[in-house]
Amino acid sequence: MYAIDVRHWQNQSSGNVKAHLYLDGRLHAESRIPAGFPVPGGTIEVAMSGFGIKRCHYVTAQGVEQQLAPHPASAEGRRARLDRDHPALSHWIGLCSLILLLIGAGLLVLQIAEPLSRIPPIASRLGNFESPVRLPLWLNITLGAGAALGSMERALRLRYNWLLDGAAN
């Protein structure tokens, strides 16, 4: 029985996050993330996003991928239990996280486009872009925090999309 342990909140800013591979409850190997652990019949691959695990799969030698199930006591396992025990609530939480991420990604695009359009070579070629959305600071911070929470919720469900979750990082 193989198990992966990732303490993803430790030293993440320095890039020193490690994945530990356990075999029958005993430490078998460790590696910096992204990690690939050779096991009989394939490889266990582990990767992180800024908010949690974005990939934890067993990949057979033939290339067939299977997502590993989270430990029931982990945050990911508790989120999976909520999904199993209360599917309607889980659906609404997931929908809210997706909406917060879409809003956050849209605002990010608008907020990046405006200063970029003021760079002289870009301004002379395309003109200046004025964002149609002007939010008060408190709402901007609230929506940013909501996007961060949405990314964390998606990480707990082991769902990752480079556009949504990458934009919120």
- Output the average pLDDT for the chain: 83
Give the model's pLDDT for residue 169: 43
| Single pTM value for the model | 0.63
Considering its fold, how many domains does the chain have in total?
2
The type of residue at 143 is L
**Are residue 32 and residue 57 in the same domain, yes or no?**
yes
Identify any residues that bridge with 43 across adjacent strands, giving them in sequence order. Answer: 38, 59
Tell me, what's the pLDDT at 123?
85
DSSP result, 25-73: TEEEEEEESSEEEEETTEEEEEEE-SSSEEEEEEEETT--EEEPPPPTT
- Supply the range of the domain harboring residue 99: 80-167
What was the pLDDT predicted at 167?
Answer: 45
Task: Decide: 57 and 44 in contact? Cβ < 8 Å.
Answer: yes
pLDDT of res. 168? 44
Shared domain for 87 and 58, answered yes or no, is no
Whether 52 and 129 map to the same domain: the answer is no
Q: What is the pLDDT of residue 8?
A: 64
Under-50 pLDDT residues of the chain? 167-169
**Pair 14, 57 in one domain:** yes
Task: Tell whether 127 and 85 lie within a shared domain.
Answer: yes
In a domain, 75, yes or no: no
| 57 shares its domain with 101 | no
